[in-house]
Structure 1
Amino acid sequence: MTSPAERLRRGRAVRKITGRAAHGRWTASPDRPDPIGVLRRQGTDRVPELLPIRYGRMAASPLAFLRGAAAVMAADLAAEPQTGLTVQLCGDAHLLNFGVFASPERALLFDLNDFDETFPGPFEWDVKRLAASVAVAARDNGHGDERAARAARRAARAYRRTIRELAGHRELDVWYHRIDTADLLPLIRTPELRDRVEANLARARRRTSLRALGKLTEVRDGRRRIIHDPPLLEPLARADSREVDQIFGKYRSTLPEERRLLLDRFRLADAARKVVGVGSVGTRCFIVLLLGRDADDPLFLQIKEAVPSVLQGHLPDDGHDHQGHRVVAGQRRMQAAGDIFLGWTTGPAGRHFYGRQLRDMKGSADVAGMSPGLLAQYAELCGRALARAHARTGDRIAIAGYLGGGDTFDRAVAGFALRYADRTLADHALLTAAVADGRITATSGV
């Protein structure tokens, strides 16, 4: 077994191949793919009538564009020098893909919460996507470049410091490490910020299947049914309904035995097609209503199509032939605590899906309008959570050796974040121009 000292030296040696300061010297490649073309290619196998919603949501702001343009950024990162220090990447680690959710023990945790693009790759790709999203969000909020760079730098610094801290921990301690919101509150000294955080946590605790029952369903002909709210929430055609029945049966088989026992205590009552997210719009997604002991004992599941990660094709194969299995495996590796109903399945047409609870005390921060100080603190928290996930899945000691105790990496990533924010602004303008001249059909406000 390689000693910690040897792993530390290995990480430091990588600096000679890819210097830490090099991460800040980003420029768009001369043969950079057209971002609109990348988005169009992604849409070729999606539900056609939903694509205008995707483009409309992405056109709303540069940050919204960045959220939906993970494939564009993946190609940009792949053209850059890499450290080769591999972790399980989130693949889409922008600051809106972090949030709170309930652990199986009902503690409220803060962590990554989206793994559609998860894939093994160089740790810095996630850090750069997080930092870029922080810079774009800061600009969207009118903070200016100096404050945007400062917030991005604090995300990178928190990542570096947390990795270095966890490099000194035992393996089981790292695996069990988590960010419990109960531990965060005492650290917040500003009364206004504490009140805001407590209010957000209270809203998250109310986001349960029972709460969703009143919002998403109604009684029709004496039976509990999902409300129709087209185009975002629509009843299934007969063919889709048969597909969901088959998907659900196969999904059950991927759950652990005790979870199958629990799931079998519920019966399938209804299902509907649901539009979710920004980048995911157009992929096939269903919500399933199950009822337990009576009509007031609901369980909502989300069955979402899993398509190849945007990182595939840029990195070595990860060994997963099933995209739903890839998502589930990545989430189980990275999250401190996973959804008890996390599983995967294959549809009748050969499409891959994964399933999880629709609402289990899930919540996310509203970064729009955050003050510079609050955004910087939130960026730090995201940096900590990302480092915790990477420490579980990669060589945290080698990464710590590469990053070092100084701020060279932090400053470089902040520089990258500003440069990529410029690129995102230009790409967003390309999309809005394509919408304006009719090359792209977009539906706004949906």
Structure 2
Amino acid sequence: MTTTPADPAERGRAARKRVPRSAHGRWIPSVERPDPVAVLERQGRDRLPELLPVRYGRMVASPFAFLRGAAAVMASDLAVQPHTGLTVQLCGDAHLLNFGLYASPERAVLFDLNDFDETFPGPFEWDVKRLAASVAVAARENGHEDGKVRRAAQEAAAAYRVNMRRLARMGELDVWYERIDVESLLPLVRSARHRRRAASQLTRARRRTSLQALGKLTEVVDGRRRIIHDPPLLEPADAADTATLRKIFSDYRSTLSEERRLLLDRFRFVDAARKTVGVGSVGMRCFIVLFAGRDADDPLFLQIKEARKSVLEAHLPSGPYVHPGHRVVAGQRLLQSASDIFLGWMTGPQDRAFYWRQLRDMKGSADVAGMGPADLLAYARLCGTTLARAHARSGDRIAIAAYLGSSDTFERAVADFALDYTDQTTADHTALVAAVMAGVVRAEPGV
């Protein structure tokens, strides 16, 4: 039987009966809500214990920093709310700083989602709410008045709705090929000051290559190129770790396509180091490996990062991938308009899952902390647009568009949620600070 666009549209409208769009504005924490510090402590049990103080030190810096590291806390909060059942491949951690610039294989600089550690199939609105909450937390932290905080959060959700409805009218291939090319964005930036700032960010991103990393992260010791020692952020791998990385390299290589395996084989192993990255990821095992191609001035840096179960998995039906690294890689390929050619996965010692990618490939992110109301509003709109494009590749965009409708009901509700969740995030951040002051957890700020 042939399916027509009207069929998914009807499913979307039917979802409104289960979860009215206005219902997304409610956030009242239950008396049974898990203690946020306990959630973080459970998450840290299998991480490198010596790095947990760094994680907490980064999270106590501000409510926004706390939000970045507390994806597990928000996942449990979203899970107790009614959801639409309109499933997409979620980013799982769609806060403002998990969007940014990177280079496509064709060397165009794109703007897209750029973190997929928590990716998992789930209700589309979970990503939208996390994005809107991050906008509101950032806006309040930047000193914006409440009206502008609300407007920025609402604009992120509005951009998502408007663009999902636009994508619902497009053909399958057109949606799949949709992308946000930074070169096409620059002429749309209205003020000269904002254009200069955007152009400067683009220039910095284009300089962030393996060659630039070679000068920043390595030094020559006794005539040999070595990764620098900068503990605890960057520590050369010991002999055992280096031997392990060499051994598991072939397993990773097998997950690449044939032509990319051929390209990778043109590089030789030079050195490896353990690297501390991010906020929520601190304590997970992560390495960088330096390879050399034609000569020492032809470098390739790959990052090997541990993959765990998504924080969403405890709250949703089973996903299609058993291997966490495969889940991350498949989710990234599905959500991004173009992905790293060296993206792959494998299993390491003690059956730990890892995924591999380039360390730097023209990657860049916005300076959210320095944004005034107009800049943050524009950035929120861009991120909402990007999230809609990513979700449209995997979910039923026609059903989601029909659910969202043509009015602003959904985004007004999401803005209400975002403001309430900003208060919750501030309270949770205060609880973590109190736990540090009481000696319940140890933090090393400023690392």
In structure 2, how many angstroms separate the alpha carbons of the residues matched to 1:189 and 1:146? 23
Deviation at 1:241, TM superposition (A): 1.7
Report the equivalent of 1:398: 399
The 8 Å contact of residues 29 and 76 in structure 1, kept in 2 or not, is answered as no
Query: In structure 1, how many angstroms separate the alpha carbons of the residues matched to 2:263 and 2:36?
Result: 45
Q: 1:161-176, aligned counterparts within 5 Å?
A: 161-176=162-177
Partner Cα separation in structure 2 for residue 199 and residue 72 of structure 1: 35
Q: Paired residue for 2:425?
A: 424
Deviations 1:184-233 (A, max 9, x none): 01111111101000000000000000111000001111111101101100
What TM-score results when the alignment is normalised by the length of structure 2? 0.99
- Are the equivalent residues in 2 in contact too, given 1:175–1:392 (CA < 8 A)? yes
Q: Structure 1 CA distance, aligned partners of 2:395 and 2:252?
A: 29
Tell me the SS of whatever aligns to 2:370. coil
1:383 aligns with 2:376: no
Q: What secondary structure sits across from 2:230 in the alignment?
A: coil
8 A contact 1:246–1:348 mirrored in 2: no
Q: Which amino acid aligns with 1:7?
A: P
Separation (CA, whole Å) in 1 of partners of 2:446 and 2:432 = 16
Is 1:94–1:129's contact at 8 Å kept on the other side of the alignment?
yes
Distance 2:178 2:162 in 1: 15
2:413 is equivalent to residue 412 of structure 1? yes
Structure 2 unpaired stretches of 5+: none
Query: Equivalent residue for 2:209?
Result: 208
Instruction: Give distance in 2, aligned partners of 1:35 and 1:349.
Output: 29
Residue in 1 that maps onto 2:10? 9
Structure 1 unaligned runs (5+)? Answer: none
Take 1:57 and 1:249, find their aligned partners in 2: how far apart are those partners?
35
Residue 44 of structure 2: aligned partner: 43
Q: TM-score, normalised by structure 1?
A: 0.99
Where 2:45 maps in the other structure, the secondary structure is: helix
Tell me, in whole angstroms, the C-alpha distance in 1 between the residues paired with 2:222 and 2:247.
26
Is the 1:308–1:323 Cα contact (8 Å) retained in structure 2? Answer: yes
**Aligned equivalents of 1:52 and 1:439: distance in 2?**
11
Aligned-partner Cα distance in 1 for 2:235–2:138 = 32
The structural deviation recorded for 1:30 is: 2.1
SS at match of 2:9: helix
Report the Cα offset of residue 5 of structure 1: 1.1
Give the drift of 1:145: 1.7
Return the offset for 1:348: 2.2
Give secondary structure in 2 for the equivalent of 1:179.
coil
> Match for 2:269: what amino acid?
L
Secondary structure in structure 2 of the residue aligned to 1:26: coil
After superposition, the C-alpha distances for 1:99-130 in whole angstroms (9 at most, x for unaligned) are: 01000000000000000000000000000000
Percent identical pairs in the alignment equals 71
For 1:3 and 1:32, how far apart are their aligned partners in 2? 43
Q: Distance between the aligned counterparts of 1:331 and 1:355, measured in 2?
A: 12
Structure 2 match to 1:362? 363
Deviations 1:366-394 (A, max 9, x none): 10021101001000000000000000000
Code of the aligned partner of 2:424: R
The alpha carbon displacement at 1:90 in A equals 0.1
Deviates more, 1:124-133 or 1:180-189: 180-189
Q: Which amino acid aligns with 1:327?
A: V
- State the Cα distance separating 1:247 from its structure 2 match: 2.5
| CA shift for structure 1 position 249 | 2.1
| Secondary structure in 2 matching 1:362 | coil
TM-aligned CA deviation for residue 165 of structure 1: 0.1
Deviation of the 1:320 alpha carbon: 1.1
Partner of 2:107: 106
Q: 1 CA distance for matches of 2:435 and 2:349?
A: 36
Q: Does the 8 A contact of 1:93 with 1:129 survive in 2?
A: yes
Partner of 1:234: 235
CA distance in 2, matches of 1:237, 1:349: 17
Q: CA deviation at 1:13?
A: 1.1
Give the match for residue 86 of structure 2: 85
- Give, in angstroms, the shift of residue 321 of structure 1: 1.1
Equivalent residue of 2:369, what SS?
coil
Please give the per-residue CA displacement for 1:123-154, whole angstroms capped at 9, x wherever unaligned.
Answer: 00000000000000001100022111100000
Question: Counterparts of 2:288 and 2:155 in 1: how far apart (Å)?
Answer: 38
Secondary structure class of the residue paired with 1:368: helix
Query: 1:431 and 1:159 mapped to 2: Cα distance?
Result: 32
Letter in 1 for 2:137: V
Alpha-carbon separation, structure 1, partners of 2:11 and 2:241: 52
Instruction: Please state whether the residue corresponding to 1:382 is helix, strand or coil.
Output: helix
**Farther off after superposition, 242-251 or 69-78:** 242-251
Instruction: Please list the CA deviations of residues 50-109 of structure 1 after superposition, one character each: whole Å capped at 9, or x if unmatched.
Output: 000000000000000000000000000000000000000000000100001000000000
2:256 match: secondary structure: coil
Aligned pairs for 1:309-320 (under 5 A) are 309-320=310-321
- Segments of 4+ moved more than 2 angstroms: none
Residues 267-278 of structure 1 mapped to structure 2, 5 A cutoff: 267-278=268-279
Indicate the SS of the match to 2:361: coil
User: Residue 61 of structure 2 corresponds to which residue in structure 1?
Assistant: 60
Distance in 1, matches of 2:361 and 2:423, equals 37
Distance 1:179 1:329 in 2: 20
Q: Distance between the aligned counterparts of 1:370 and 1:124, measured in 2?
A: 25
Q: Is the 8 A contact 1:246 1:347 kept in 2?
A: no
Q: What residue number does 2:285 align with?
A: 284
276-285 vs 137-146, greater mean Cα deviation: 137-146
The alpha carbon displacement at 1:271 in A equals: 0.2
Deviation at 1:235, TM superposition (A): 1.2
Aligned twin of 1:126: 127
Alpha-carbon displacement from aligned partner over 1:255-299 (angstroms, at most 9, x marks no partner): 111000000000010000000000000000000000001000000
